[in-house]
Chains A and B, each alone.
Chain A
Amino acid sequence: MVIAVASGKGGTGKTTISTSLALVTPQVQFIDADVEEPNAHIFLQPDHLIQQSAALKIPSIDLSVCTRCGLCQEICEFNALAVLPESNKGPGNVFLFETLCHGCGACYHLCPENAITERAKEIGIVESGVFQNLQDENCEFIHGVLNLNESLTTPVIKDVKKQIDSQKTVIIDAPPGTSCPMIEAVEDSDYCILVTEPTPFGLHDLDLAVEVIRKMDIPHGVIVNRSQNRHNIITDYCGKRNIPILLQIPYSKRIAEGYSKGIPLVKIDPHYIKQFQELLVAIQNHYPKDISSAQNESLLYANPHFFDENAR
């Protein structure tokens, strides 16, 4: 089963949630798909890391075969090719602007002279390693890291997801936002946890994320992080749209401090171990779909006394 953790807004707690969920999951495979700013390794501390190159196939033009016809420049939708025709000033040239190239293969397939071959251009790396979950099992950790000064995020995410072992429970830490990278990361997941915060920013971006997830037809639920009250703008919103609230994590300076040091939530406060175990079981067994009414007092999986217990 593949569970993605996404948000919309950055900084709501995706990595906090995904790493703690992974730590309580037996036989888990953890995938950090936030390839621009991967952070999960800080919390899971994987080792035995093996690197693989994530590469784009970009064109290589054989100038001795190329007739400077200019077709490649004409068909390239990304303006990555410029053809200087042959003239009395010289034999002309073909320029490739690598950072603009999307690796689509159109020029390679369509060159009438077959003057184009392809070469691999590394745009990032995929690292795989091993981390220990709370049951002390060796579990698989994979993350992608986009090379600095590269612009295309999605191909690296694709490469990271190729490592998915569908025999295991897979947890994907998605990038923020609702555009291509997030969609690539979340696509084909069996369930998506949306993490948000009870602020106007959190609500606004949650709404965008829900729109995307609904279009992708992925069952989903919400976790409210840094919650101040059991009833808040997020619980109102979710009530109206029949989206289950899976968990609320009250704001806690202690948790913030532990997070700052790179300590996973379930290790800062072991009380959360049971919460995340229950969450995992619920997702695996039920795909929670509805909460029955906007006034539903007992949020589906939150301990009703949680806020009292945590008012320290």
Chain B
Amino acid sequence: MKQIIFISGKGGTGKTVLTASVASLPKSQVIADCDVDAANLHLLLKPVIRETHRFISGKEATIDRDVCRECGECISLCRYEAISPDFFIHSHKCEGCGLCYRICPEHAISMQEKVAGEWYISETGFGEFVHARLGIGADNSGKLVSKIKQKSKSLARDNKSDYLIIDGPPGIACPLIAAVSGVNLAVIVTEPTKSGIHDLERVLGITNHFRVDTGILINKSDLNPDYADKIVSLAEMNQIPIIGKIPYLPEVFEAVSQGELPISDNGTFELLIHKAWENITSLTDTKQVEAI
């Protein structure tokens, strides 16, 4: 079973549309959405939810105002400024470290488990789908991402699927690190813009450090040919294969604007996705990453 993740560094490069398009090609697979903070993949895959699970992660403190005598010890020690001057705990600021709970002389503080979100196992027209919704203001520490990875991997193994296709999170911190761990290939979806290249370099810092095999897919490739060339040079310098170059296609934008998958009747986009998928499988089906 090969795990392939689509990441970006920069948001808005087209990761989710490309993940959905690749997922829509018929094959034996499980699909996962690890972009848990404002998840979008379900909008294109239109899943029917089969199982819903609460995601409990971390703790938060509550002050019993009847017992509290307002000595202020908790406020002075809390490093997250989570306790207001009138001894109310801001849920979104509380990191659940438990220090206030332990030092309160009146034992007025208790710790509760935090429901940080929900995760789901669903059916789609293309395979089973594991996805989540992170609670508003929840700590995006990567734990929910890890849960999705773990569940989708075991589902893929149980189903004896050939592939696990993952929509990854943006950024370079915990969620991204949790998502790329153990994948066979990370496809970095980038765009030929100054911001795109800047962010590509940062995300490559992570994938290089964790020795994750990568490929680069240049989306909106005709936006700026000079920068597209820069990306190709950067890829060559780092010995990273180019998985594909996809120009801006109005029909793709149209389809996505309607909430539809842009894959249909053998249009340009569909052919490019097929080609990208061929490149991906030729990389994952051999042990070594070869330049294309």
Contacts and interface: CB of A to CB of B under 8 A. Distances in A.
Contacts of B75: none
Contact of A37 (B9, B134, B138): B9
Contact of A152 (B37, B99, B173, B191): B173
Interface string A242-285: 00000000000000110111100000000000000000000000
Interface string B58-94: 1100000000000000000101100000000000100
Given A37-B202, A201-B40, A259 B193 contact: yes
A159 to B, nearest CB: 13
A121 B179 CA distance: 25
Contacts of A153: 171, 173-174
Chain B contact residues: helix, strand, loop or mixed: loop
Say which size band chain B's interface belongs to: 35 or more
B259 interface: yes
Contacts of A181: 140
A150 B37 CA distance: 19
B192 A260 contact: yes
Nearest to B91: A215
Interface string B166-177: 000011111001
B250 to A, nearest CB: 10
A109 B139 contact: no
Interface residues of A, number: 54
A149 interface: yes
A124 to B, nearest CB: 10
A28 B92 CA distance: 29
A192 to B, nearest CB: 14
Nearest to A151: B174
A15 B134 CA distance: 24
A220 interface: no
B10 A148 contact: no
Contacts of B3: none
B172 A36 contact: yes
A92 interface: no
Contacts of B43: 200-201, 204
B134 A179 contact: yes
Contacts of A180: 92, 137-140
Nearest to B206: A148
A185 interface: no
Contact of B193 (A109, A110, A176, A260): A260
Interface of A: 8-12, 15, 36-37, 39, 42, 57, 75, 77-78, 102-106, 109-110, 146, 148-153, 175-181, 183, 198-201, 204-205, 208-209, 211-212, 215, 228, 256-257, 259-262
